[in-house]
Chain A
Amino acid sequence: MALASRHLLGLNGVPKEDIQLILDTARTFREVLERPIKKVPTLQGKTIVNLFYENSTRTRISFELAQKRLSADTINFSTSTSSTKKGETFKDTVRNIEAMKVDMIVVRHQSAGVPHYLTRISNANIINAGDGLHEHPTQGLLDMYSINEKLGRLEGLNVCIVGDVAHSRVALSNIFGLKTMGANVSVCGPATMIPIGIEKLGVKVFHRIDDAIKNNDVLNVLRIQLERDAGRRIPSLREYHQFFGITTDRIKNHNPDILILHPGPINRGVEISSEAADGPYQIILDQVTNGVAVRMAVLYLLGTMH
């Protein structure tokens, strides 16, 4: 079995069999991660560059660990976009990296479309580790893996993505992936955070968190960007928490069976209360572990393609 594409740019358009293959492969690697020796030789001799134009320690570490567990050689190139705007162009940087004969590039960038552009200027396999407000496919995959691990299925589940959906790459990847796997997807947040035309994707919109909790099996709670949003898209963090925050009381009152996911890092007391973030309903740390397994699966499947 092999994937249809030699890149992972997003989950939009990825066929069900491919998502299933990645999730099944991830299960194998998840078992590897429980062994005393957590390393397999599958990508020995492959060189992978982690090209991070945006600070994201968590995602980078997760990819890096996945690469090490697969015995690949890893190079990290991290820089802020503001410095490259003045200095070397993106294209020149990529050409330099290409000249070093790399096999795969994992890229994180603040502009949507950069991974797609990379496929035009590089011969490496490209993995999107988050592009602008567009997609973050490995996050979508690890969320699906984690839901499936906990609830035993994806098909027919009701999953709601809560928060700043309009400015989230996690939301789109979740929507595309979950829809493909047969889940019902909804979003919940203030209207200023719901992207235009989202219902055209077959996504239901809630503006009241209690309704979202009542009507779903899973909530995927997005991080609020503290500095960027307060006073602009939401009146204040306090008000947001009051009307959209996930609390243990809300869960107990409306749906004690609900499963809570959060891509991290958490703003305690904003999108989720501290009690709820540590409580029995969430699987936030499982997501982190699963993230490594899912990224191993993606790297393995793309890295061993011909």
Chain B
Amino acid sequence: MKIILKQIKIIDPSSSLNEVNDILIEDGVIKKIGSINEDEFKSSKIFEMDGKIVTPGFFDMHVHLREPGREDEETIETGSNAAAVGGFTGIACMPNTNPAIDSAEVVRFIKEKSSNHLVDVFPIGAATLNRKGESISPILELYEAGVVGFSDDGNVIKSAGILRNVLEYSKITKAPVIEHCEDESLADGAMNESFTSTLLGLPGIPTVAEDLIVARDIMMAEYVDGKVHIAHISSKKSVELVRQAKKNGIKVTAEVTPHHFTLTDENLKTFDTNYKMNPPLRSREDVEAIIEGLKDGTIDCIASDHAPHSIEEKEMEFIFAPNGIIGLETQIGLAISELVKKKHLTIEQLIEKFAINPRKILNLEIPKIKVGEKANLTILDPEIIWTVDVSKFKSKSKNSPFDKKLLTGKAIAVINKNKMFYEDKFFTI
């Protein structure tokens, strides 16, 4: 089958492409860019794309799919559907499932279950067995089965000694160790420790709980010459630590979630548990530092930390409610509204943070918009104004603080693996 994306703005930072043109895709491969003849027009399905942007497919490197274990909250399929709606052609899923992704068997189960979906799913292996922090997981075996990084996400890798060994091992594979940075002895709280936590009477988690582990991990990455990726960075000091480490040539990268550059701890004043996450929402000052970090490249990429929870679980008394929100279906809208429209990032920079950098960090092939390449594409409408409606989400869970929020910009289609998702339908192209 042949399709034509007509008069679309093509932006591909890795081939310095930025032009309005027609793209012909045949059987999932980019056949032509521009100069498409009459016959081809006649024999193709045409998509009018005035004002739309096509980019290499976006990638979310921090998603919790909940399968195996909590299929009532999300499955590999529903999570992948949410990713497609949200504009992603690839995701990496975190190992805090039940069982954890700490054996080749679980990796194969996930790969198998996701193999026919438009969205590529890459498991992250547990860094330690059952994410307990006690003994290191079979890192080489997991890598061979297809994991692209190692993490105890949800937990920090508890001891520096274990971290060292995980790093030494993962170094052999070149895959990064992805750290959920939190000193647990300081993290027994329900929100950011601040004047606001004092006012609300909620136990606080200080930023120093994150900073200490970021510092530890940077030092360990330097000592071992390993690769550490800081998940969901949230504090000003941590951003500064990563900035300095990068200057010193240490192999450290970082991601931020849309909620950490959009919301602050003041949002908790209603005690709505949809604002409860870990790391917690921080202060305005931290948000500003994060935006600075995104601008100067200290923070490499944006990732959702998509964390589905059932309504019954989330509708609990604040201190008992679980942490986390879903984010796949809102994150591009939030990023365009908060970062591009407010002129913090250019659209090219945004594409780097969503399409290029996460794949670089995970050593995955970066899709190119080039004749002869497989079409792995995200199509954006950067101007559309829309209202978030959680009841329409593809995700099985609805725990989002952004319901009813007005956003500018969203993905309207994705193309990958010879499939397209457009106007709420998947179809083969």
Would you give the 0/1 interface string for A117-158, flagging 1 where the beta carbon is closer than 8 Å to chain B? 100000000000001111100000000000000000000000
User: Least Cβ distance of A116 to chain B in Å?
Assistant: 5
Chain B binder among A194-202, A218-226, A240-248: A194-202
Kindly list 16 other residue pairs between chains A and B, CB separation below 8 angstroms, not including A113-B318, A132-B319, A172-B198.
A81-B317, A90-B317, A110-B317, A111-B318, A111-B319, A111-B320, A112-B318, A113-B202, A113-B271, A114-B318, A132-B201, A133-B201, A169-B201, A195-B197, A196-B195, A197-B198
User: Least Cβ distance of A42 to chain B in Å?
Assistant: 32
Count of chain A residues with Cβ under 8 Å from any Cβ of B? 27
Chain B residues positioned under 8 Å from A109 (CB to CB)? 317
Known: A117-B271, A135-B201. A112 touches B319 (CB 8 A): yes
Chain A residues positioned under 8 Å from B315 (CB to CB)? 89, 91
6 contacts between A and B (CB under 8 A): A89-B315, A110-B317, A110-B319, A133-B203, A197-B195, A197-B198
Task: Name A85's contact: one of B197, B270, B318, B320 (CB within 8 Å).
Answer: B320
B140 within 8 A of A: no
- Complex contact B202–A112 (CB within 8 A): yes
Binding site for B on A (CB under 8 A): 12, 81, 85, 89-91, 109-114, 116-117, 131-135, 166, 169, 172, 195-198, 200
Q: Which residue of B lies closest to A132 (CB)?
A: B201
Q: Which residue of B lies closest to A136 (CB)?
A: B201
- Complex contact A197–B200 (CB within 8 A): no
Known: A113-B271, A117-B271, A133-B203. A195 touches B320 (CB 8 A): no
User: Least Cβ distance of B199 to chain A in Å?
Assistant: 7
| Interchain CA distance A268-B160 in the complex, whole Å | 45
Q: Shortest 5 CB-CB distances between A and B: which pairs?
A: A134-B201, A113-B271, A197-B195, A111-B317, A111-B319
B316 within 8 A of A: yes
Residue among A85, A91, A117, A172 with most chain B CB within 10 A: A117
Chain B residues positioned under 8 Å from A133 (CB to CB)? 201-203
Task: Name A113's contact: one of B200, B203, B204, B312 (CB within 8 Å).
Answer: B200
Known: A89-B312, A196-B195, A200-B195. A114 touches B317 (CB 8 A): yes
B329 within 8 A of A: no
- Complex contact A196–B204 (CB within 8 A): yes
B305 within 8 A of A: no
Known: A112-B271, A116-B271, A131-B201. A196 touches B319 (CB 8 A): no
User: Least Cβ distance of B1 to chain A in Å?
Assistant: 50
B193 within 8 A of A: yes
- Complex contact B194–A197 (CB within 8 A): yes
Chain B residues positioned under 8 Å from A116 (CB to CB)? 270-271
User: Least Cβ distance of A173 to chain B in Å?
Assistant: 10
Q: Which residues of chain B in 298-329 are interfacial with respect to chain A, using CB atoms and an 8 Å cutoff?
A: 312, 315-320
Chain B residues positioned under 8 Å from A131 (CB to CB)? 201
Residue among B201, B316, B317 with most chain A CB within 10 A: B201
| Interchain CA distance A126-B203 in the complex, whole Å | 23
Q: Which residue of B lies closest to A166 (CB)?
A: B198
Task: Name A12's contact: one of B199, B270, B312, B318 (CB within 8 Å).
Answer: B199
Task: Name B198's contact: one of A85, A113, A195 (CB within 8 Å).
Answer: A195
| Interchain CA distance A196-B391 in the complex, whole Å | 39
Q: Which residue of B lies closest to A12 (CB)?
A: B199
Residue among A81, A111, A135, A196 with most chain B CB within 10 A: A111
Q: Which residue of B lies closest to A165 (CB)?
A: B198
User: Least Cβ distance of A213 to chain B in Å?
Assistant: 25
- Complex contact B199–A132 (CB within 8 A): no
Task: Name B202's contact: one of A85, A91, A132 (CB within 8 Å).
Answer: A132
Chain A residues positioned under 8 Å from B194 (CB to CB)? 196-197
User: Least Cβ distance of A138 to chain B in Å?
Assistant: 16
Would you give the 0/1 interface string for B187-226, flagging 1 where the beta carbon is closer than 8 Å to chain A? 0000001110111111110000000000000000000000
- Complex contact A196–B320 (CB within 8 A): no
Would you give the 0/1 interface string for B93-137, flagging 1 where the beta carbon is closer than 8 Å to chain A? 000000000000000000000000000000000000000000000
- Complex contact B202–A134 (CB within 8 A): yes
Chain B residues positioned under 8 Å from A117 (CB to CB)? 271, 317-318
| Interchain CA distance A234-B200 in the complex, whole Å | 24
- Complex contact B200–A112 (CB within 8 A): yes
| Interchain CA distance A89-B312 in the complex, whole Å | 8
Q: Which residue of A lies closest to B204 (CB)?
A: A196
- Complex contact B198–A198 (CB within 8 A): yes
User: Least Cβ distance of A88 to chain B in Å?
Assistant: 11
